[in-house]
Amino acid sequence: MNDQRTGRDVDVLELLDLRIPAESAGVAEAADKVTETLTRLSVPEEKRLVIGLAVQEALANAVVHGCGNDPSKEVRCQVKTNPIGLVLIIVTDPGPGFTSELLPDPSQQESLQMDHGRGVYLIRQLMDEVQFVNGGNEIRMWKY
Amino acid sequence: MNDQRTGRDVDVLELLDLRIPAESAGVAEAADKVTETLTRLSVPEEKRLVIGLAVQEALANAVVHGCGNDPSKEVRCQVKTNPIGLVLIIVTDPGPGFTSELLPDPSQQESLQMDHGRGVYLIRQLMDEVQFVNGGNEIRMWKY
Amino acid sequence: MDINVRKRSQIQVIQLRGPLRLGLAVDELRQTLEDLTAGGDTRIVLNLAEVPMVDSSGIGLIVRYLASTKQRGGSVKLLQPSKFAIQTLRLVGVLNLFEIFDQEDVAVDSFV
Amino acid sequence: MDINVRKRSQIQVIQLRGPLRLGLAVDELRQTLEDLTAGGDTRIVLNLAEVPMVDSSGIGLIVRYLASTKQRGGSVKLLQPSKFAIQTLRLVGVLNLFEIFDQEDVAVDSFV
Ligand SMILES: Nc1ncnc2c1ncn2[C@@H]1O[C@H](COP(=O)(O)OP(=O)(O)O)[C@@H](O)[C@H]1O
Ligand SMILES: Nc1ncnc2c1ncn2[C@@H]1O[C@H](COP(=O)(O)OP(=O)(O)O)[C@@H](O)[C@H]1O
């Protein structure tokens, strides 16, 4: 895993590589699997909760926006770690992508009562590093 | 009303100027008001249905994407006509707008089973001319 | 939106009355479809005879349950959609995904 | 998602159990809130004691009904949200929109 932040190449352990049908039940299931895996690795509860929610959000976006909830489409979720406990999550969908820089800031006063538009913002708050690649249909996010 | 297509300036009759709270009940109500108004003007049923659905879609987008379903926000819907029966609808929301040119085509084979993403496309199919102005938070649409 | 559900020889027939559009109408139909499919019913006839219009959120909902019921060996079939509903489905390119019927008996029997 | 609704002196207390997130959980809570508010109940206490996490669609739902109940003289108040739920609400900037309580009695009484 090439840690973009520190520039080191580090040993990688592949923890999970899931492919789920694009429906919300699959999202919840996959997010739970990620959390369980982190539990087995004795990742502390707080970090687990944070990563679990970020995965939930990323998968939800992949399923809803990337696949339009079409269960015949597939979303991929990879979880990797390295010996020093860094966790990398990659979520990929077959959709059109989007330009994450253009999203409005949901924490602005006039947006606080909106009923959506918080997912990407929340992911950025929860994780230590977030990148959108391939025009936005792949998200890579790191928790140190 | 400056008809952008033909370049003529024509006499304008303001039929409606509604401001609705950003919630789905308001959308349905306003769309029905537009249809009723067109009925009173003896607009033929098919044209009424087409315009009514386009208004429904434009208002829905304004409420959902422009206002995030926050009922304290307001959406404006204007209906104008001229002596030769052209109908112009303007829907304005206070939101961030969007780039309509970047939307994926929902009629592509691989998108047919998506559960959203058809509103703008449908409006373009239903109406004779559609413009997004002010960065996308105002839509102007004509039916000849 | 008025929603009426009847079971006829293992097929669920859902009768709608009113515009199928964003808000209560789509929410209620979503809940009905969710309840039926959660209970194992995936063979569904949707009677649209009294539905004057279907908006894009209604189309999205029907298409979504068409996909998920088909994955489980069922389907969502349309009964007596209005001319305008058919035109709308055609305009967005999904008309051909559906089987469409004029008569309830024929729609129900088509599942066997 | 387990949803339990009780009425206590004109206040609806909704008890949730399980993650509040996209899919069934959010759909069911939306339906519950829709039914309550359609029936005129706009004073709502949401017991989150057994909700380990709330995702952005859950937040969107609660915030939406906070806005619509407030417009009608009511509110949605939160009872015993977990530390992580509070952290999540804070991260997206909506924590301050809500009144938060530790005890059901106090939450219910706060409406009078
Ligand atoms: N995987 C994705 N593919 C395409 N578009 C996406 C994706 N993820 C997010 N988006 C776009 O970014 C917007 C904001 O996403 P988000 O912050 O998660 O809020 P929400 O999903 O509630 O709208 C979405 O409405 C969508 O337009
Ligand atoms: N008034 C608007 N303000 C902001 N964004 C909008 C607006 N109308 C449409 N959009 C954007 O364009 C996308 C496509 O809209 P549409 O074709 O109506 O499909 P849907 O609303 O089902 O997603 C929306 O998901 C949203 O990102």
pLDDT in tens, chain A (144 residues): 454 554 445 568 899 999 999 999 999 999 999 999 999 999 999 999 999 999 999 999 999 999 999 999 999 999 999 888 899 999 999 999 999 988 989 999 989 999 999 999 999 999 999 999 999 999 999 999
Contact B70 A95 (CB under 8 A): no
From the CB of B132, is ligand 2 less than 6 Å away? no
Q: What is the pLDDT of residue A140?
A: 97
Residue A83 to residues B51, B82, D6, Cα–Cα distance (Å): 62, 73, 50
Calpha distance B31→B50 (Å, rounded): 11
Task: Using alpha carbons, select from A44, D30, D15, A97 the residue that is nearest to residue A52.
Answer: A44
Q: How confident is the model at residue B10 (pLDDT cuts 50, 70, 90)?
A: low
Q: What is the mean pLDDT of chain B?
A: 91
Provide, as residue numbers in chain B, all residues whose Cβ is less than 8 Å from the Cβ of C69: none
Residues in chain D, pLDDT under 50: none
A61 CA closest ligand 1 atom index: 8
Q: What is the pLDDT of residue D1?
A: 86
Residue identified by tokens 């739970």 is A32
| Cα-based angle B47, B116, A117 (whole degrees, multiple of 5) | 120
Q: Does position C82 have pLDDT exceeding 80, yes or no?
A: yes
> Which H or E element spans position A16?
strand A13-21
**Contact criterion met (CB below 8 Å) for D77 and D98:** yes
Q: What is the pLDDT of residue B7?
A: 43
Q: Which residue has the higher pLDDT, C56 or A12?
A: C56
Which tens digit of pLDDT belongs to each residue from B30-68? 999 999 999 999 999 999 999 999 999 999 999 999 999
From the CB of B62, is ligand 2 less than 6 Å away? yes
Task: Using alpha carbons, select from B121, B65, B115 the residue that is nearest to residue B91.
Answer: B65
From the CB of B66, is ligand 2 less than 6 Å away? yes
Provide, as residue numbers in chain B, all residues whose Cβ is less than 8 Å from the Cβ of D71: 21, 71-72
Q: What is the pLDDT of residue A106?
A: 94
Q: Please tell me whether residue C103 adopts helix, strand or coil conformation.
A: coil
Determine what percent of chain A falls in helix, strand and coil, rounding each to the nearest 5: 40, 25, 35
Q: What is the mean pLDDT of chain C?
A: 96
ipTM above 0.90, yes or no: no
- Ligand 1: lining residues by beta carbon, under 6 Å: A 61-62, 65-66, 93, 95, 97-98, 103, 116-121, 136-137; D 56
- pLDDT mean over B95-106: 91
Q: Does position B25 have pLDDT exceeding 70, yes or no?
A: yes
Q: Does position B97 have pLDDT exceeding 70, yes or no?
A: yes
* Region of residue A6 (phi > 0: left; psi between -120 and 50: alpha; otherwise: beta): alpha
Whether residue D24 lies within 8 A of chain C, CB to CB, comes out as yes
Which of the residue ranges A76-90, B5-19, B94-108, D14-28 would you say has the lowest mean pLDDT? Answer: B5-19
CA of B117 to the centre of ligand 2 (A): 7
CB neighbour list of residue C8: distance below 8 Å, 6 or more residues apart: C104, C108
